[in-house]
Amino acid sequence: MENRNTWEIYSPEQSSECEDFSKGYIDFLSDAKTERECVDIIVREAKTAGYKDLDELIRKGEKLKAGDKVYRVNMNKAIVMFNLGSDPLTDGMNILGAHIDSPRMDVKQNPVYEDGGFAYLDTHYYGGIKKYQWVTLPLAIHGVVVKKDGTSVKVSVGEKPDDPVFFVSDLLIHLAQRQMDKKAATVIEGEALDIIVANRPINISGENDKEAGKDSADSKEGAKEAVKKGLLDILKKEYDIEEEDFISAELEVVPAGRAREAGFDRSMILSYGQDDRVCAYTSYKAMLEITDVKRTSCCILVDKEEIGSVGATGMQSRFFENTVAEVLEMTGCGGDLNVKRTLAACTMLSSDVSSAFDPSYAANFDKKNVAYLGCGMVFNKFTGARGKSGSNDANAEYLGMLRRIFDEDKVNFQTAELGKVDVGGGGTIAYIMALYGMNVIDSGVAVLNMHAPWEATSKADVYETYRGYCSFINKATRV
């Protein structure tokens, strides 16, 4: 079977729609570089589309009915949305699930130090990365600092044209003979991924000390770690942050700069964080687009997938299950058995990216079973590694139903696996949701340079995935 290139089958109108959709996606990637920023944007758009805060409705003792649209936020880093259909909830839902965390570097809780005339922030990388890819890049810092009184300070530095940026240094090639002999995994060690954030001492000449009447001993003492002190002075003046406030901070170091169109033909998008914000964006946009549904639709966007879906904001938490229980209670059919029946009757697209064929590394792919950039939405019947270890392997009956509805709506799609057998592999949240007994399959967008600071996708694949998600919400049934 040959994959069809989407651009070759698009009408001029479809090409125009694809370009319009891509503009919004590029803005989203540029503005939502952390989980918190993603949630803020999605909540804002959901409210505009008529979605109501579920927790507010619970406090008011209100009930839910068909046609109601609600959302719930989990610790500002995950969100679930429901569009209640006319069919009973216990008949199941059509669920789109994706993650909004991406590989990056996190600032540690005691991060500030000075060495060799530089002030650094100590970091710990998050998720699977090639560490050598993160050196000498312009970097930005995003996140929050929460002080002891509960005040939250939002931080976003490195994105505006007049913002400073930060970087991890690398050894100059002239002195790198021994470094170049190392294996790629150890060329840059994890503890070497500390970012340079300042180089100017708070008091370069000591003249201010003399004017203040301080003796030379005081002046020398004040010169110790003067660059670090200069940095802390800036943080205090601009953000009202003390050094100890880093203890209760969540600061993420990410590539600086906007997402960009790529290629002379502008057919691709180059950006940080497309794994998995490309599937998150297409999922929640499909939820906002499809209004009247028979079968309740749901979109769950979670944190922590890149480190095993753990923690209170990851898919392994009880947040989703507990929220479904609340929704059932508010529709008058609560109870543990109904929660179990509802979840078992669901159909789900575990919306995550797939590896795109890269001709430069062709030996790692099975050309018959790999996704190609520009050939549409991707289905991975299974993921995992080696003998499908750690995989959700979707049922043939479920795939047959999906083929039917996508063919009806002329959605261009392809099937793939993550590289050749025994070469590597990966996983998603699919296996976690499958524990409820629902039908789940991995689906999403093919990505080139996956987990690199800058990842590439095809505009056509992004738009076809959005179209596929709309079809799934409208037409998917239990099998």
Residue 313: is its pLDDT beyond 60?
Answer: yes
Determine the pLDDT at residue 427.
78
- The reported pLDDT for the residue numbered 418 is 82
C-alpha dihedral (291, 293, 101, 163), degrees to nearest 10: 0
- Segment 149-174 shows an average pLDDT of 96
The pLDDT > 70 percentage for the chain reads 96
For the cut 60, the answer to whether the pLDDT of residue 219 exceeds it is: no
CB 311 within 8 A of CB 477: no
What is the model's pLDDT at position 177? 94
SS3 261: strand
Q: What is the pLDDT of residue 296?
A: 97
**Euclidean distance between the first and final Cα of the chain, in Å?**
26
The Cα–Cα gap between 344 and 437 comes to 5
Q: What is the pLDDT of residue 2?
A: 77
Question: What contacts 228, CB < 8 A, 6 or more positions away?
Answer: 112, 113, 114, 119, 198
C-alpha 227, offset from chain centre: 34
Range(s) of the chain covered by CATH 3.40.630.10: 6-102+272-475
Higher pLDDT, 70 or 208: 70
- pLDDT score of 209 more than 70: no
Output the pLDDT for position 220: 58
| 377-420 pLDDT, tens digit each | 999 888 877 888 878 888 999 999 999 999 999 999 999 988 78
Whether the pLDDT of residue 218 is over 70: the answer is no
Pick the CATH number of 104-255 from 3.30.1330.10, 2.30.250.10, 2.60.40.680, 3.40.50.300: 2.30.250.10
Residue 215: per-residue pLDDT: 54
What pLDDT shows up at residue 3?
Answer: 84
Please identify, in words, the CATH class of the domain defined by 6-102+272-475. alpha beta
Residues sharing a CB contact under 8 Å with residue 180, sequence separation 6 or more, in sequence order: 187
Portions of the chain given CATH number 2.30.250.10: 104-255
Structure tokens at 474: 């409208």
Cβ within 8 Å of residue 234, ≥6 positions away: 198
What is the pLDDT of the chain when averaged over all its residues? 93
What average pLDDT score do residues 130-155 get? 96
Could you tell me if 276 and 459 are in contact, meaning their C-beta atoms sit under 8 angstroms apart? no
Tell which wins on pLDDT, 4 or 195.
195
Q: For the chain, percent helix, then strand, then coil, each to nearest 5?
A: 40, 25, 40
Contact assessment for residue 425 and residue 333, using Cβ atoms and an 8 Å cutoff: no
Rounded CA-CA distance 401/436 in Å is: 20
Beta-carbon contacts of residue 92 (< 8 Å; ≥ 6 apart): 295, 296, 342, 343, 344, 345, 346, 347, 438, 478
CA 153 → CA 156, 257, 421, distances in Å? 10, 22, 47
pLDDT confidence bin for 204, thresholds 50/70/90: low
> Does the structure show a pLDDT above 70 at 182?
yes
Over residues 3-54, the pLDDT tens digits come to 899 999 999 999 999 999 999 999 999 999 999 999 999 999 999 999 999 9
> Looking at the predicted structure, is the pLDDT value of residue 146 above 90?
yes
Is 80 exceeded by the pLDDT of residue 206? no
Is the confidence at residue 429, as pLDDT, over 90?
A: no
350 to 79, 419, 461: CA distances (angstroms): 15, 19, 16
